[in-house]
Structure 1
Amino acid sequence: MTFTSHHESAFDELAELLDGTVIRPGQATWDEARAAWNLAIDQQPAAVVTPNHVEDIGHILKAAHATGLDVSVQPRGHGANGDLAGCILLRPTAFDEVTIHVEERYARVGAGVLWGTFLPSLEGTGLIALAGTNPDVSVAGYLLSGGHSWFSRWKGLAAHSIRAVELVDASGELRRVTAESDPELLWALRGGGGLFGVVTTLEIDLFEAPDLFGGKIIFPGVTAEAVFELADAVIRTAPDELSLLLGLINMPDAPFVPEPMRGQTFASVDVVFVGSAAAGAALLAPLVNGIPPVANMTRPFTIGQLGEVAAEPTDPSGAIDWSATLTDASGSVLADVAAGFRAATPAGLTLLTLRPLGGAIARSDRDATAVVGHLDAQYTVFAAAIIMDPTAALDPDALFEPLDEAVAGRTVQLTVPTFLTHGQGLADAYGEADLARLAEIKRRVDPHDVIRSNRGLPA
């Protein structure tokens, strides 16, 4: 899109009206303001705006209508999926409310709040929220996109915990969406992402979990096949309160890596268990007794320490990624996936994760209340090449073809939108009936298609 004096005039007026900020190309902070968390994605919006309150959002939407631009919301930049051409990028960081209602077991969480900020507020309450692995992700972005939580086998996909959504719709109207006020829109917001308005606040369910146990268990990389087999056997018979994340990682030969680990490959099993340390350790005994770990960091922990379990990076980096949903993990499937990782290592593949599903995730009674519904599969698989050298040319075919071959005939084109990779949209997560229903709701609440989500509907 070519920007004219009309656009510039509209942004000048918007900057005068806003209590928040408007940052445009050419300003000193432009590159920092527009950046996605995945630095390999080059976002080039028309402007980056940071509203301070609901009235600011109304002004932003009016400017979008006046200029013919879209509005896209990114609290932190996770899930970015395009260049944002012709778009105003809205950062809701000022919406930072955190209110815990302990007796009623729910919380109000602003759209700019990160999990790493929110979870410590639950310390001492005996309550948990359905958080994922990375504390740098926003609560709202994660929940609206479905959310596979550490606690999802126990309590279901995280979007189901949304009780109410407060948003400014495309017309500038502030709405409070509940199962009573607009059940169709709430169904869509529970997994439909940022398609339907600018979310300011969520109300979410909290759950009693006085005892938590878990951590990372690290094994030599050469034992990955055996580790995956034993971990799979554990999770198949374990109670739903146990969640595992299986992994393989090629550590770079770089100064920031501890010297004994440089250039080495490690397998891992990350663990979260809702229950006592004794019960959790007993569940893991077949794994840690079957293959001696390099390190076993499992321990009792509190909800504010949840991000330490997977210990994922919280600083932005560049990456090329891939994912799949496995419907069949029997026989040699997990071993084949590990072998595919090794085959792709020379091409630059960095990491692989497998998340066991089942439990409450597979319960079809959730379909009526959330588009994310249930997922009748056994594992989600994710792989990525972290771009250490921006000048290096990575070949996606060489990176991911061995994994494509490993899972061929064993996958389904359904997933949780939080697992979608670059270039994918909601058509890669949901079936045709759900996509049609989402499109109808989108036409009702945003008839001029002003709100642009990271994960769009098919044209």
Structure 2
Amino acid sequence: RRCARQRMTMCSRSVLLLVAVFVPTLVQSFASHIIDVPGLSDLLSPNAVVYYEDDNSEAIDTLVSTRFYTTPFEPRIPTILVLPAIVEDVQVSVRYAYDQSLDFGVVGGGHGVGGLGHTSGLLIDMSGLTAVSVDTAAGLTTYQTGNNIGTVDLASKESGVYSPNGNCPQVGVGAVLHGGYGAMTKTRGLSIDNVVAYQVVTRTGELLSVTAESDSELFWGLRGAASMLGVVTEITIRHFPVDDHYGGSIIFTNVSALPKLVAYVNDNALDQINEFHVRFSVFSAPPPAIIVVEVTLWGNGDAFAALGGKEAVINGLIAAGEVPIAVNTVAANAYYEQQSFLGPIVADAPRGFNEYALNSATTTSFPVAAAQVVADAFAGNVPLGTIFFLHGYGGAFSAVGASDTAYAGRDMKWDFVSQISFPPDVPEAAAAGLSSATDALHRAIEEAVGEQDLSPHGYLNWGMNEAAHIRKAFGDNLERLLELKQALDPTNFFHRTYDLGNVGA
């Protein structure tokens, strides 16, 4: 099928316009159709919900289709859908699927882009497991994996702390199982670099509490490959105060600003300052193309003293763009506001299925020439729906050794993504043309970056379930990870998110 080789979409203003589904409301509307599944229903807790395809196809279709909106293939609709109310329901469901030799998948609390995790067998929807506990004395936050990033942020706000997570509130916290890129990555590292404990269900339904002390090898593997080894039901992660935050979002009204903004970052060596984080997003729709810059400056300001301080850096960035700005939300101690910037947009998000084509690459630098390629393309005739992202890395992210976690790609300083989304009823030939245009743009950007600066690694959350992308994410750690997989999951039961079992060393 077209685009099956293409990589997964990511959070953005155009395609990440899906707020986490309020599942209880949907469940209630179909409550009269819940039936018994022999050997499963009687083992679940009273508040767990089970749908069976033969009698509940409408309910399953609705619940599944509202969990993701962009996929390169026909969506998989499960035969059995379980919404657990307690962790023991997860254990029972996993063991049932394993004993019955059912294809198995699991989705978390947010969107399910790309259809990752979905199955035509038994699907667990974790969105009912949303407990969050903030322990300020220990400096730790513990949350169940039915949460999304926004709900964890809300639970943390009262305590004035944040745990390193992504920066899209509607993304499920399950995204952190493979990395967890966000507005603090250069300062604190990925989410997996800050996790201190996992609660995980094995293929036989056993519940394990895993720390570096209790099982160092499994803990190593879970930090980057968790969904391939079991079902993580709970994460305990370090948190940090937000009182040194200064940041927000700036919308530049003309794409011609992009090369100038990249030049400002490069010329002032901001990419070398660990306390400076930036993500550039270029959107083609609605025209004309615009740039959204999400920028965060952490710390007491000393890192920016040579540039005149935090406010001076932001003012310099705005001036460098040389075009009018439509929005500037940058402020001191505004972390939660920055995290929820997309909230009003996602409230009215369209649901359903779209198709897409996507390419991603990681680099050790991003030159102005590459930014100029992007600006010229978006100022010209790129198809509507085309999006470009540029994410900054380095700092604490790169300070972690390549073999310290299962995820290995610690050498990159930037990654960039070019993608397009389009309705599923676009004719085959037209869809192929849209995909080809996106491919051509990506190749042009890579050429401008230069082969010598392209990293051999990749960031797993930006990719589809394909062998080449998985190999890029784990690099030299792959053989060790496969040994762990063989010991814990020799039948490759957990394969619907990323299929580690069919990669090969």
> Taking structure 1 as the reference length, what is the TM-score of the superposition?
0.86
Q: CA deviation at 1:12?
A: 3.4
Query: The residue matched to 1:267 in structure 2 has which SS?
Result: strand
In structure 1, give the amino acid aligned to 2:258: A
Q: CA deviation at 1:301?
A: 4.2
Counterpart residue number, 1:260: none
Write the deviation string for residues 132-170 of structure 1: whole angstroms up to 9, x where unpaired. Answer: 12101122x122111112101011122111100011111
Q: CA deviation at 1:425?
A: 6.4
1:445 matches 2:488:
yes
Q: Is the 8 A contact 2:457 2:475 kept in 1?
A: no
Question: Quick check: 320-329 or 277-286, which moved more?
Answer: 277-286
After TM superposition, the structure 1 = structure 2 runs for residues 223-302 of structure 1, keeping only pairs within 5 Å, are 223-234=257-268, 236=270, 239-252=273-286, 263-275=287-299, 279-290=309-320, 291-295=322-326, 296-302=328-334
Counterpart residue number, 1:118: 152
Q: 1:29 to 1:123 in 2, by over 3 A?
A: same
1:403 pairs with 432, 442, 460, which one? 442
Counterpart residue number, 2:143: 109
Counterpart residue number, 1:15: 41
Counterpart residue number, 2:473: 430
Counterpart residue number, 2:359: 322
1:175 matches 2:208:
yes
1:335 pairs with 368, 372, 383, which one? 372
Query: The residue matched to 2:166 in structure 1 has which SS?
Result: coil
Q: Is the 8 A contact 1:337 1:403 kept in 2?
A: no
In structure 2, give the amino acid aligned to 1:353: F
Question: Quick check: 38-47 or 266-275, which moved more?
Answer: 38-47
Q: For 1:431 and 1:304, locate their aligned partners in 2 and report how far apart those are by CA, in whole Å.
A: 32
1:419 pairs with 462, 467, 473, which one? 462
Q: 1:319 to 1:353 in 2, by over 3 A?
A: farther
Q: Is the 8 A contact 1:34 1:89 kept in 2?
A: no
Q: CA deviation at 1:192?
A: 0.8
Write the deviation string for residues 118-138 of structure 1: whole angstroms up to 9, x where unpaired. Answer: 112222434221121210112
Write the deviation string for residues 357-382 of structure 1: whole angstroms up to 9, x where unpaired. Answer: 1211222x433431124521231112
Query: The residue matched to 2:458 in structure 1 has which SS?
Result: coil
After TM superposition, the structure 1 = structure 2 runs for residues 338-377 of structure 1, keeping only pairs within 5 Å, are 338-341=375-378, 345-346=382-383, 348-363=384-399, 365-377=400-412
Q: Is the 8 A contact 2:103 2:122 kept in 1?
A: yes
Write the deviation string for residues 257-287 of structure 1: whole angstroms up to 9, x where unpaired. Answer: xxxxxx3211232112224699322222322
Q: For 1:136 and 1:213, locate their aligned partners in 2 and report how far apart those are by CA, in whole Å.
A: 22
Q: For 1:344 and 1:12, locate their aligned partners in 2 and report how far apart those are by CA, in whole Å.
A: 57
In structure 1, give the amino acid aligned to 2:50: V
Q: 1:82 to 1:343 in 2, by over 3 A?
A: farther
Q: CA deviation at 1:228?
A: 2.8
Q: 1:231 to 1:386 in 2, by over 3 A?
A: farther
1:383 matches 2:418:
yes
Q: 1:310 to 1:375 in 2, by over 3 A?
A: farther
Q: For 1:85 and 1:282, locate their aligned partners in 2 and report how far apart those are by CA, in whole Å.
A: 51
Q: 1:85 to 1:340 in 2, by over 3 A?
A: same
Q: 1:129 to 1:432 in 2, by over 3 A?
A: closer
The count of residues paired between Structure 1 and Structure 2 equals 438
Query: The residue matched to 1:13 in structure 2 has which SS?
Result: coil
Task: Give the alignment's Cα RMSD to 1 decimal.
Answer: 2.8
Q: CA deviation at 1:92?
A: 1.4
Q: 1:287 to 1:77 in 2, by over 3 A?
A: closer
Q: Is the 8 A contact 1:49 1:91 kept in 2?
A: yes
Q: 1:10 to 1:430 in 2, by over 3 A?
A: farther
Q: For 2:292 and 2:69, locate their aligned partners in 1 and report how far apart those are by CA, in whole Å.
A: 24
2:52 pairs with 17, 21, 24, which one? 24
Q: Is the 8 A contact 2:408 2:475 kept in 1?
A: no
Counterpart residue number, 1:96: 130
Give the share of equivalent positions with the same residue, in percent. Answer: 21
Q: For 2:474 and 2:232, locate their aligned partners in 1 and report how far apart those are by CA, in whole Å.
A: 25
Q: 1:432 to 1:322 in 2, by over 3 A?
A: closer
In structure 1, give the amino acid aligned to 2:441: P
Q: For 2:346 and 2:279, locate their aligned partners in 1 and report how far apart those are by CA, in whole Å.
A: 16
* Structure 2: 5+ residue stretches without partners: 1-34, 302-307
1:165 matches 2:165:
no
2:245 pairs with 186, 190, 212, which one? 212
Q: For 2:177 and 2:331, locate their aligned partners in 1 and report how far apart those are by CA, in whole Å.
A: 31
Q: CA deviation at 1:117?
A: 0.7
Q: For 2:49 and 2:271, locate their aligned partners in 1 and report how far apart those are by CA, in whole Å.
A: 53
Q: For 2:242 and 2:272, locate their aligned partners in 1 and report how far apart those are by CA, in whole Å.
A: 17
Q: Is the 8 A contact 2:98 2:203 kept in 1?
A: no
Q: Is the 8 A contact 2:248 2:334 kept in 1?
A: no
Q: For 2:392 and 2:239, locate their aligned partners in 1 and report how far apart those are by CA, in whole Å.
A: 23
Q: 1:432 to 1:131 in 2, by over 3 A?
A: closer
Q: For 2:117 and 2:153, locate their aligned partners in 1 and report how far apart those are by CA, in whole Å.
A: 32
Question: Quick check: 232-241 or 158-167, which moved more?
Answer: 232-241
Counterpart residue number, 2:14: none
Q: 1:334 to 1:375 in 2, by over 3 A?
A: farther
Q: 1:431 to 1:122 in 2, by over 3 A?
A: closer
Q: Is the 8 A contact 1:23 1:33 kept in 2?
A: no
Misfit runs of 4+, over 6 Å: none
In structure 1, give the amino acid aligned to 2:124: L
In structure 1, give the amino acid aligned to 2:259: E
> Taking structure 2 as the reference length, what is the TM-score of the superposition?
0.79
Q: For 2:475 and 2:119, locate their aligned partners in 1 and report how far apart those are by CA, in whole Å.
A: 28
Write the deviation string for residues 324-360 of structure 1: whole angstroms up to 9, x where unpaired. Answer: 11233235122224334556613x4421110121211
Counterpart residue number, 1:5: none
Q: Is the 8 A contact 1:242 1:273 kept in 2?
A: yes
Q: 1:374 to 1:199 in 2, by over 3 A?
A: same
Q: 1:136 to 1:246 in 2, by over 3 A?
A: same
